[in-house]
Amino acid sequence: MKTFREIQPADLRSATDMLPALVVFAPIEDVENLLHATAHAEPESEERVVLMEVSVDDDKPAQVALISYDQEPEYVHLFVTDRALGSHPTKRLGRIVRRLHLDKFEINWWTRRSDESWPGNRQQPFTLDDGTHSRGHAV
């Protein structure tokens, strides 16, 4: 059973509510190949985006944006809404990472200085059951 699917920009429910959650230490091309997806880029844009919908629980699937910026081509940033993470963001992000098979790469939290309750502010590095972890970014 496939636990994720690629979606188009028109399918996003809350694009403006998406916030950075994790950084994946891999170029967007590796993520595209892994997910059999295609990154979208607007003309004159400095970013490439892969949009996915991921089954996490019995709830609505989580929509995620995997974004690569030209100035940092070696990283992909995972954006998601806080609503999609619910009251257990660490657990749900772990499920998203596993279902997208991103655990093949090194991963770390984004910190959110504007949100004291964000788990990435106190949990460095992001660690899965297999011990996957790496350096972090701050916003």
pLDDT of residue 1: 59
The ranges assigned to domains in the chain are 4-8+15-138
137 has pLDDT over 50: no
CATH classification for the domain delimited by 4-8+15-138, as one of 3.40.50, 3.40.1000, 1.10.3470, 3.30.310: 3.30.310
Q: What is the pLDDT of residues 4-39, one digit of tens each?
A: 999 999 999 988 999 999 999 999 999 999 999 999
Q: Which of 93, 99, 125, 90 has the alpha carbon at shortest distance from 34?
A: 99
Pull the structure tokens for residue 91. Answer: 């657990």
133 has pLDDT over 70: no
| pTM for the structure as a whole | 0.87
Q: What is the pLDDT of residues 66-75, one digit of tens each?
A: 999 999 999 9
Helix (H, G, I), strand (E, B) or coil at 73: strand
